[in-house]
Structure 1
Amino acid sequence: MSDVATYPYPLVVFDLDGTLVDSAGDIAEALNRTLEDWQLPRVAEATVLTWIGDGVRRLVEQAFTAAGSTIDLDRVMPGFMVHYRECLLRSPRLFDGVAEALQQLQGRGVPMAICTNKPSALVQPLLDHLGIGDRFALVLGGDSLPQRKPSGEPLRHIAGHFGAAPGDCLMVGDSLTDYRAALDAGMPVALVRYGYPRGLDLQHNEAVAVVDDLRQLPGLRAG
């Protein structure tokens, strides 16, 4: 018998890269292969981390701007997407505690969704590769709607799909982009200390929780 009624949130919405999956090395490699295609120098993964979160076009734009390039991004993006697909399953891994937390939530009948700025066509293959493809009732990518995070519209759309009020649901993310999206949607947010926070103040914010491990999500062991 489901005990979803005992869980404080009727829906949990997760960010993907940096929250569930450590994919920075693969994203960095795809970006660096693209830079090499245009005879530009590779950049350190630590630098790429500061660019992840706002969608692939913005990622590439920041890298080429940092390299001093004025190449039209419309010429660059097709090649980048080829590399992105080729590197997608190169070395991703789930962060510690992710598999167990998702299993607990699913076992309690709590619906879960993904809200990511990653291109939607690349999300399900990644989830399936990591063995969590059946955990989510809805997956929303960065190109699924006209808006993407940090707009709150994707979160409002997801909540509406499940017939839930945004203010009753929980968003779980790692970045300032996630945090701003949740605030814009009026959705409570839990933040993780790992991932790619990019300027997010983990000490002073309006999050309902800041955790080191998803097994510490509020109310996960309650009931």
Structure 2
Amino acid sequence: MKPYSLILFDYDGTLCDSREAILATFERTFQYYQEPIPPLEKLHQVVSHGLIMPEAFKVLKPELTPEGITEWVKSYRDLYDQNAYHLVKPFPGAKALLMNLKARGKTLLVMSNKGIRSIEMSLDYLGFTPYITLSLGDGSPLLAGLDKKPNPISYTKVIQPAFAHTTSAQTLMVGDTTMDIQYAHNCEIDSCWAAYGFGSAEAIRPLKPTYEVNALSELEKIIE
């Protein structure tokens, strides 16, 4: 193992358990449009694959037009921010881990495909904001016009220039889905699979993440 100084955290399924919030908001979105709610198994499948929201609605309601998808995504995010952020629970040890890493001089980022407004509300609600140097998500001005994970452009065009004192060898991506591990591969940085999160071993282990943890408490040893 080697020490890392820049840690990129996915959010959902990595720092916090937002499954209940996500599932509840999918249900509320379909209710809002007076459409049948998809089977729970299908909703779980969308969550476990870490799909970005437009792709999720393509799967859940394939007849939607591109304009319809945009509208549904906006409704989903509005409903999430109004009703669901308080359902998000930090994984055990999340706040203590962030506090300890920050105290040791580590730079901590959130790198997610989740809407940035939802991320920032949740960070504030859970008390994580003081430990995070930069949060990046869908709708972040810094990511305007850039493709989402697993495309590495957010790393090469935003993160690397902003933290030029840190090399790729000192950077670690921590995430729970194939999107996160593939993003790390594409960025040519090390990865840590949060096996306690939403992703499946069958999908992720073939991608050969650098590390695998079953709890956040195991991450501190890897980073140091």
TM-score, normalised relative to structure 1: 0.85
Distance 1:217 1:70 in 2: 41
2:85 equivalent in structure 1: 89
Q: RMSD of aligned C-alpha atoms? A: 2.2
Q: Which moved more, 1:129-138 or 1:205-214?
A: 205-214
1:78 and 2:80 correspond: no
Report if the CA contact (8 A) 1:188-1:207 is conserved.
yes
Matched with 1:159 is 160
Query: Which consecutive residues of structure 1, in runs of 5 or more, have no partner in the other structure?
Result: 1-6
Following TM superposition, the consecutive aligned residue runs of length 4 or more in structure 1 with deviations greater than 3 angstroms are 43-47, 198-205, 218-222
Secondary structure of the 1:151 match is coil
Aligned with residue 179 of structure 1, among 174, 177, 181: 181
Rounded to whole Å, the distance in 2 between the matches of 1:125 and 1:89 is 7
Q: 1:78 to 1:216 in 2, by over 3 A?
A: closer
**Alignment map for 1:4-19 (pairs within 5 Å):** 8-19=3-14
In the superposition, relative to structure 1, how do residues 47 and 195 fare at CA in structure 2: closer, same or farther (>3 Å)?
Answer: farther
- Provide the residue aligned with 2:101 in structure 1: 105
Contact kept, 8 Å, 1:35 with 1:64, in 2: the verdict is: no
Counterpart contact for 1:8–1:219, Cα < 8 Å: no
Distance in 2 (CA, whole Å) between partners of 1:221 and 1:8 is 5
Matched to 1:160, the amino acid is P
Query: Aligned residue pairs: how many?
Result: 213
Assess if the C-alpha contact under 8 Å between 1:50 and 1:196 holds in 2: no
Higher strand residue share:
2
Given the superposition, is the C-alpha separation of residues 80 and 73 from structure 1 closer, same or farther in structure 2, using an over 3 Å criterion? same
- Once the two structures are superposed, what CA deviation does each residue of 1:19-40 show, in whole Å capped at 9, x if it has no partner? 0011111111111111122332
Alpha-carbon contact 1:172-1:190 (below 8 Å) kept: yes
Partner of 1:42: 37
Q: Sequence identity, in percent?
A: 24
Cα offset, 1:70, TM superposition:
3.8
Q: Which 10-residue stretch deviates more, 106-115 or 84-93?
A: 84-93
Going by fraction, where is helix more abundant, 1 or 2?
2
How far 1:193 sits from its partner (Å)? Answer: 0.9
TM-score, length-scaled by structure 2 = 0.85
What whole-Å deviation, never above 9, does each CA across 1:167-190 have from its counterpart, x for those lacking one? 320010000000111100001001
C-alpha spacing 1:61/1:86, structure 2 compared with 1 (3 Å): farther
Q: Superposed, which structure 2 residues align to 1:53-64 within 5 Å? A: 53-64=50-61
Give the gaps of 5 or more residues in structure 2.
none
